[in-house]
Structure 1
Amino acid sequence: MPYRWDAKWVWLGDTGHRPGLLAGAVDPAVYDRFVLLRRAFDLTEVPGEAVLRAVANSRLVVWVNGHEVARGPVRSDARSTRCELVAVAEQLRPGRNAVAVLARYYGVPTAWWLPTPVTLGLGGGAVAAELRLGDGEVIATDERWRALAGDAWAPGPPSFEDGTGFLREMVDARQLPAGWTEADFDDAAWPRAEPIDPRNDGYLGVLEPPSDPFGRLPPRPIPQLSGDDRRPRRAVVVPTAAAVSPAADDPVEQVLADQRAAVLSATRPALPADGSVEVPGGSPQLVAFDFGETVAGTVRLDVEGPTGTRIDVALGEELDDDGLLVAEFAHAGLRYTARGADDGYESFDPLGGRYAVASVRAESAVRLRVAVRERLFPRARVPSAPFRCSDELLNEVFAIGLRTVELCSQDAYIDCPTREARAWTGDFVVHQSVHLATAEDWSLARWNPVLADTPRSDGMLPMAVCSNLGGGPLEGSYIPDWALHWIRAVRNLMRYTGDRELVASLLAGCERVLRWFVPYRGPDGLLAEVPGWVLIDWSAVPVAGTSAALNALWARALRDLEQMAEWLGDGHRASWARNLRHDVATGFEVFWEPERALYRDHRVAGAVRPAASRHTNAAAICAAIVPAERLAGLAATLADRSLLAHSAPAFERLGTGDLAAGADLVAHGNPEPSWDQQRWILEAQPFFRYVVHDALAEAGRADLVADACRDWGRCVRAGERTWPETWVGGSHCHGWSSTPTRDLVVYTLGVQPAEPGFARARVAPALGDLAWAEGTAPTPHGPLWVRADAESGRLAIDSPVPLDVEWGGEQRQLGPGRHELRSATS
């Protein structure tokens, strides 16, 4: 595609941009605006090639002849905006054709978008799109395109109190022309699109993209999101006792208000076979849908009812004893007012939940169907099962982790699809690791570390990417240790992809993060009194004063930088990191307690406190700052469940619905430990267990990992079909809890890179008490299949690359191909 577009930036009506002398500004009163754009054209024959590219501030959907072809842009830093680039020849036909675009300008920060910098001409609502045909013709946005202001949508209230930053979507279909994306739609009465002059300082009069502030506009780095249509498995109709006053601007609040007036003793008919629900007219009626598991995507409504029928929909993760949504877990909302004919609507932004409650207001009976079209990263799985073994519980644990990561893989790795949909800087290391261990398509695993490389001026990364938390006006919010997990994700790219250019492009960012901590070093080489939200994980890990867990994570990241720099031939950076890590190792001895043979958690006012955690001891092993003679004992301690205390105060409060108390603990820190600190060791929450399992393997006890993964059985027994945020509560679908899905491949089956980029693979099954395990792991050179049988001592491998094999106490080097081995003891 040519660097310079043929398209012009266009909009219709108020973009929200206000020009100034040297820079513009945006009007805060102009937010959550839509615009419809279309261009019809004729073709005598379908060209062999047709490519469409499009971009918008903030999001758009593009159709060709009524077929959706693109939805984006993917979240990114505004100055590195990506365009949509898709081949569309299959959607064209001889005769009349049309390209249609629906664009939404958020205007205010959300959980997945931050307002762009403002130039003299751009910074508000703007769209550019062009269809390039094989014969050289270009159908590009300009004043020849027809446009319609999106008055059908009412601006939703920005919701920040629950931390999500969701914008409710509210559309009145009576103002939305039916069939407007189709080729034969008559748009003659529509106004013409209004070109935007993208002026900036030093302007040279070029109207077409690329333009400041959006950067080069390269293509999106990941495929279009896709997935199955999910329909409810069950639905019930619940009338209300009296008409509740309609809420003017919030569908979620409307549903919750109607729930409070519900007649709970009413008969509740089940969902019929065709998935539709008959809803009586008159007083408001509630319809409660259960999808049977968490779903995430665009919500589809099909309505047969009178003009003016209003349907408010709220999605959530939990139901109360009456089968209605728990208010604290209802975050996503959609309002639809019916035109009375051709009533089908799909939400613009993705939503998520297991349950949906629709509040229906209609003069007469309504037939309603609800579905969710999942919009997920198309996880291309390897040809055969990634993992299965002799323990059915572990097979289920593995599969649930795959589904959880799938739901949390959208245009970035997100924390959860049901509440925030926020791309946290540290969370995604688990999602990425699962993809690298199980999926053929690593494009999102490569993209997310690049996406997160948006340092503040001091070198620290915001705690969430392109988000209203950690960016924009809340840039002051950061989690120092989350940036250290980001460095581990960059190291994962080195090991799995072997892409020197990619890793080298991120190495300076890794160094900047590590140097951010240096001013907090004391004479003993340890970090102390580090500011920011030192989270570690949701467990009540003491971090006041000199935090052992934070120091160990910093040392692990220094080790990561050292390894990457050595691989790239950057001796200076490697030496710098090595020396700092050596200083940490020397100072870290202050935390060692010989009597219990473990490291304690923190030092305050010169005194080391007695509290100890899995976090500190595991991170220290992973940082290689533990003397070799201690490793076996520490591994046994880490694996001993009888020593564990469980405490996550914020979520213990949140689990009771006490949001204020939970938030207070987040803001002010955990209380003093309530357990016997001389006896118990604090357990890690699911996220940090990836570090615990890494430590077991580093200590030579990968055979303990499979049994450790059985801890997720408590969630299986509780009926969870995706993994919750913590052992005690939170979101019911959190990708960071999915480490067993990585570990059963990497440690139990034992497949991982022996050299960067899988130039050589390491196969070292560590079955523990399993009778057998088998599976297929992806490599850049093709799938690698392994079956290990403990009872017969047989190991079968089919590999596209040379191998370092450890089996039955022996080490061998093998070439690519199929191998059958037997242990010496069998």
Structure 2
Amino acid sequence: MNKNRKWNARWIWSDVSENEKNVFYYFRKNFNLKSTLENYELFISADTRYQLFINGKLIGRGVPQSQPFYQYYDEYNLDGKLIKGENCIAVVVYHLGTLPDTRGGLLLEITGPEDETVIKTDDTWRAKKSPAWQQNTYSYLPNRVTPFQEVFDARLEPPNWKEISFDNNCWLHSTIIAGMIHDQPPCAGPWAKLVPRDIPFMKNENVFAKKIEKIEENLQLANRSRPTDLSPGLSMVGKPIKYSKVENAENLLNENGVTIVQSSLNHKNLDFDGIYSPAIVLDFGRVITAHSKISLKGAAGSMIDIGYAERLIDGNFNISMECEFADRYILKDGDQVFESFSWKSFRYLKIRFLSCFEPVTINSIEAVISTYPFEEKGDFNSGDKLLNSVFEISRDTLQLCSNEFLMDTPWREQAQWLGDVALVTVPAIYSCYGDTKLARKFYFQAGQNQHPTGMISNISNTVNHDWIHAIPDYSLWWVQGIWEHYLYTGDEEVVHHLYPQLSRILYAHLDYINNDGLIENIPYWPFIDWADVDKRGICSVYNAIFYETLKSWNKIAKFKGDNYTAELSEKLLTKIKLNFNKFLFDEKRGCYADANINGKLSEKISEHGNLTPIFAGLCDAELSQKIIDKVFIEKNDLIFTEAQPFYMAVVLRALDQTDNFPLAISLIRERWGKRMVDKGATSTYEEWYQNGSWRDGDFKGFLRTHSHAWSACPADFLIRRLIGLEILESGCRKIKLSPQKTDFDYDVTFPTPLGEINVINKSGEIKISNPAGIEII
């Protein structure tokens, strides 16, 4: 695919306001083909999302969520999709409208066998604002991709509008979006850089629920305080069916048979008070990312509300407190199918039937899973069932958090958080799948979102100008990740192209280095972890992360032949090593304090503050072991703040580096095993607790996600660290292996760009196999 293709098409939109929120538009164009029907290519981009149809059939969805200054476009081969004579292209474009620097737009072009332009978006296209999708719906704005509840009225959709025969003469002509000097892309609109899709299209799979969790009925009452919010009605606790009707609900678990539902009719007797609406809660057995799809037959005006939840609260479906993800479908007459425009994350699906005074026949309720098409090349299998389960929920979480972008969680934000992905998700993807495309996309996309301060934006799958709350330590993890990506893939282009951004991060930190060579009072939002760590003054954790990052900078600078930066990083490394213990080690307590504030050591001590210096190599082997014993082994009066799942990626590596691998395995069993697996987790929780956090020192109750990839580091650790794998030459051409001798047998596969390495430990005997092209030492 040509990265700099010349577009003959123009960005178009309706002549209605460009600043609308949560709006859907229809676009269509008929065209005639007289020649061969092969070797036609279609290129398309949209702000924000599209569904593409040719001759009434769905061709695809896109584009990957992005910033307008790094706007993706998709390409489709149309072999077998066009017909001789008249054809129709129809596109639904959804514009989110909540992000800065964006506006609605569609760009589409079809080229023929000779690369000639056959059809292109221009002012001959017809456009219409969709009357079927309600615009003023409730939104949960922390979500960066699909914050609005979707309300679709099938009665208002123009019948057959995607078909060739549809008469669109009453629709308005599209308007070409102008640029400052020219309307030819990339000059037009905010889309200054058009990037070809660099990942595959998502994999879809239709699945049925595993069981019916609950069948109930509720009074149908208006939510007059928040009339646009569907979640309170869906969260009402119901009673067993008495007045309404639900027949053969078990048929919803497969494709055989139908289910009949109907609202109560007793209100027609004036002595009866109220309308009762039936509801069904379906359990899909695990958290999934999917579109809801319902095939049914009913009367026009009947309504179905659909709620999405990762978990039940006190045994009940409740989404009214947070993450109010819900949709509504208003029926037309007859047979029909509704599929939500956007996927959601859920385990539990609640379907509530409102004003269904005529029987509604449900043919099926399915989830259409949308996920990244990984191939499971890596694996961990052992004689320890608990460790196997920890690995499985960790790997499943990686899959959940991998779509057209990498994300912290598919449930709440759906955001490509910089540090989450660089420290935990990407290394685990290498170990479990060997995929490099999604990681490469992440590094490039994040690199386009650098703030004027030099820090990289926290989030990179959408526009984010919030430089004040940028997390500086996340930029450091990103730097380390780029070097690790190069080592794994051998992809030099990533380092070359992103070197200016890497350099700016380094120089941004120079302003906060004190006379003793230590970072002091780093501004913005130093995060570290969702834990009660003291980050003021000279923070031990931050300085240790910075020290480790300087090693990556030094290697990258030497790779680039940048002697100045190489020498600078070496000087900084030397000075930090000289003064770190002097200012941060507490002789009285025998461990590192979290911080030194104006010459006084913080009272707070943590696993973070003590294991990160070990991870970074800031203390020798003897001191490292004393600290580890004090933190994890000795019984003393010291209370170390516990690392949450995210930061365990550092803690576990520090233990492994100091020959404390058995202790690392013990912590995995204790923390992921007891706190997640034993509680029925099918994917990893955001923190150790589902219902609250100790992040401020006291426990506060609020929902934590059941699908957080930053908690999935065992997926990497139980493969890479178990076999003692170290990449010595880029592209995995030379690898050092030091397999652990454990109290359990294991069979581990680590995928590389050159093939899979397999290590088997059976009864203490180690067997290694590797592909040609990899030197093992």
TM-score by length of 2: 0.88
Partner of 2:349: 356
Alignment match of 2:311 (pick from 304, 314, 318): 318
1:456, distance to aligned residue in structure 2 (A): 0.8
Aligned counterparts of 1:329 and 1:505: Cα–Cα separation in 2: 40
The code of the aligned residue for 2:684 comes to: W
Partner of 1:656: none
Partner of 2:510: 518
Partner of 2:688: 727
Is 1:712 the counterpart of 2:672 in the alignment? yes
Maintained 8 Å contact 1:753/1:761: yes
Q: Which stretch shifts more, 459-468 or 259-268?
A: 259-268
Is 1:498 the counterpart of 2:490 in the alignment? yes
Alignment match of 1:574 (pick from 566, 578, 582): 566
Is 1:561 the counterpart of 2:553 in the alignment? yes
1:206, distance to aligned residue in structure 2 (A): 4.4
Aligned counterparts of 1:178 and 1:764: Cα–Cα separation in 2: 65
Structure 1 residues 133 and 190: CA distance shift in structure 2, 3 A: farther
Alignment match of 2:13 (pick from 7, 11, 14): 11
Maintained 8 Å contact 1:561/1:574: yes
1:604, distance to aligned residue in structure 2 (A): 2.6
What's the Cα RMSD here? Answer: 2.7
* Within-5 A mapping of 1:604-643: 604-637=597-630, 640=632
Partner of 1:280: 262
Maintained 8 Å contact 1:306/1:366: yes
1:95-120 superposed Cα distances (whole Å, 9 cap, x missing partner): 553322110112213xxxx433xxxx
Alignment match of 1:60 (pick from 28, 50, 70): 50
Alignment match of 2:68 (pick from 59, 68, 78): 78
Partner of 1:476: 468
1:309-348 superposed Cα distances (whole Å, 9 cap, x missing partner): 1122221222233532253344312121111234212222
Alignment match of 1:103 (pick from 93, 96, 99): 93
Partner of 1:177: 158
Is 1:782 the counterpart of 2:742 in the alignment? no
Partner of 1:299: 292
Structure 1 residues 482 and 450: CA distance shift in structure 2, 3 A: same
Is 1:128 the counterpart of 2:107 in the alignment? yes
Aligned counterparts of 1:289 and 1:726: Cα–Cα separation in 2: 26
Partner of 1:365: 359
Q: Give unmatched runs, 5+ long, in structure 2.
A: 265-274, 691-703
What secondary structure does 2:332 align onto?
A: coil
The code of the aligned residue for 1:558 comes to: L
Maintained 8 Å contact 1:58/1:105: yes
Q: Give unmatched runs, 5+ long, in structure 1.
A: 17-26, 117-123, 644-675, 806-826
Aligned counterparts of 1:49 and 1:373: Cα–Cα separation in 2: 30
Partner of 2:460: 465
* Within-5 A mapping of 1:264-275: 270-272=249-251, 273-274=253-254
1:333-377 superposed Cα distances (whole Å, 9 cap, x missing partner): 212111123421222222111112222212212234432222222
Aligned counterparts of 1:71 and 1:326: Cα–Cα separation in 2: 28
Structure 1 residues 609 and 441: CA distance shift in structure 2, 3 A: closer
What secondary structure does 1:331 align onto?
A: coil
Aligned counterparts of 2:84 and 2:263: Cα–Cα separation in 1: 46
Maintained 8 Å contact 2:231/2:320: no
Partner of 1:681: 640
Maintained 8 Å contact 1:749/1:788: no
The code of the aligned residue for 2:771 comes to: S
Partner of 2:435: 441
1:380-439 superposed Cα distances (whole Å, 9 cap, x missing partner): 222xx6221221221221121111011101122111111111111111121111111121
Maintained 8 Å contact 2:143/2:414: no
Partner of 1:749: 723
* Within-5 A mapping of 1:188-587: 188-191=168-171, 193-200=173-180, 203=181, 205-207=182-184, 209=186, 211-235=188-212, 238-245=215-222, 253-257=229-233, 259-260=235-236, 262-263=238-239, 270-272=249-251, 273-274=253-254, 277-282=259-264, 283=275, 284-361=277-354, 362-368=356-362, 369-382=364-377, 386-429=379-422, 430-453=424-447, 454-467=449-462, 471-472=464-465, 474-587=466-579
Partner of 1:802: 774
Partner of 2:738: 764
Partner of 2:700: none
Structure 1 residues 89 and 751: CA distance shift in structure 2, 3 A: farther
Aligned counterparts of 2:297 and 2:241: Cα–Cα separation in 1: 27
Aligned counterparts of 1:228 and 1:763: Cα–Cα separation in 2: 38
Aligned counterparts of 1:787 and 1:614: Cα–Cα separation in 2: 32
Partner of 2:696: none
Maintained 8 Å contact 1:144/1:192: no
1:741, distance to aligned residue in structure 2 (A): 0.5
Partner of 1:666: none
Aligned counterparts of 2:159 and 2:509: Cα–Cα separation in 1: 57
The code of the aligned residue for 2:427 comes to: S
Structure 1 residues 445 and 162: CA distance shift in structure 2, 3 A: closer
Aligned counterparts of 2:313 and 2:195: Cα–Cα separation in 1: 47
Aligned counterparts of 1:532 and 1:601: Cα–Cα separation in 2: 18
What secondary structure does 1:262 align onto?
A: coil
Structure 1 residues 632 and 622: CA distance shift in structure 2, 3 A: same
Maintained 8 Å contact 2:122/2:176: no
The code of the aligned residue for 1:776 comes to: T
Q: Which stretch shifts more, 531-540 or 58-67?
A: 58-67
1:703, distance to aligned residue in structure 2 (A): 5.3
What secondary structure does 2:307 align onto?
A: strand
